[in-house]
Each structure stands twice: as structure tokens, then as C-alpha cells.
Amino acid sequence: MTGFRLFVAKWFRFPIVGSAIFENLFAMSEPNSKEIEKYLHDQIPATRYMGISLVSRQPDEIRFSAPLEPNLNHRQTAFGGSIATMGILAGWAFIHFNLKELGLSSRLVIKKSTIDFLSAITGGFEASCKAPNPENWEIFLKNLKQYKMARLNLVSELYFLEKVAARHHGVYVARLDR
């Protein structure tokens, strides 16, 4: 069991961590990849135009891919705006779908976004956002429940040919729906 799943179990005081019942909790509430893609394409149309698709999603990581063609710049490499969008999306989707699984509905926005471009991307690429350390996630959830608003810093990495080509740092703010 990952540290993130263990944290969720402790947060919600599941007495049967590691059991089939606990694992089924994630499976039952977890939207499948087609549902996630449809939601993103409907709610954030740029994801459809960019050709973004979900590669995988676990409670402790989400990963998207995009082809080069709709994201080209004039130098035949991936456009920096597309790379930044993928980084923002990975962090946003990580928080959004994990909150949804916990039964928390929120308005989620990016407050601050910075990106380091490390190398040119000349083909299809991927973006991955992994869970923050459990202490940061716990503080985020506690503040969200107590104050109805919280922020979380996340890092997304963008890969080309299995190497990190860019790193996105985002500050996301969630406000619980009333």
C-alpha cells in the first residue's frame, strides 16, 4: 500500500487497511479513464483540442499524454504554452479527482504557476503529478474542512522519451462548494 493510501486510511479511520473492503472503496468511487477524459474534454475544451488523454490514474499519481501535432510551435517542437497547460492540468486533476473520491466538491483554481523548461520536446509527451507528502495533504484537507478553503503546492513533471523535459510548480486553491 502506498503512503498516500495509508494516509487516506488513517484520515478516515479505516480499521481494515489492506483488506478487500478498503481496496474496493477506491475502486468503487474511482472514475474510469473514459469518464475522466470526457469530463476534462467537456469542462476544459482545450484538453480536447490538444489531444490530451489519460494514461493512468491511481490515488497517488495521475498521468496524461498528448501528441506533438496539435501542440507544435514554429520550431517544430512542443509549444511552451501546451507544456505549461499539461503541467497545470496534471496537478489540477490530481487534486480534483482525489477530492471527488473523498466526497468533497470544490472549486479548484491555479493560483501560481511556474515552469522550468529543461529540454526540447519533439514528439508526443506525458505529464505526471504525484501525491505530495502525506503531511502536506493532511494539512490541505484539514484546512479545507475547517476553513472551507485551502491551498496546496504540487509539482508535475513532463516527460519526453522517458526523460524529464519540464517541471511545473503550481499553487492550487480549493474552496468547498456550499
Set of cell numbers at residue 1: 500500500
What are the boundaries of each domain within the chain? Answer: 3-176
Are residues 108 and 96 in contact, defined by beta-carbon separation less than 8 angstroms?
Answer: yes
- Decide which of 21 and 104 is more confident: 104
Cα-atom radius of gyration of the chain, to the nearest Å? 17
Instruction: Specify the pTM.
Output: 0.83
The sign of the torsion formed by the CA atoms of 133, 135, 139, 145 equals positive
Whether the per-residue pLDDT at 94 is higher than 90: the answer is yes
Could you give the residue ranges of the DSSP H alpha helices within 52-129? Answer: 80-101
Superfamily of domain 3-176, CATH level 4: Hotdog Thioesterase (3.10.129.10)
Quick one: pLDDT band at residue 30, thresholds 50, 70, 90?
low
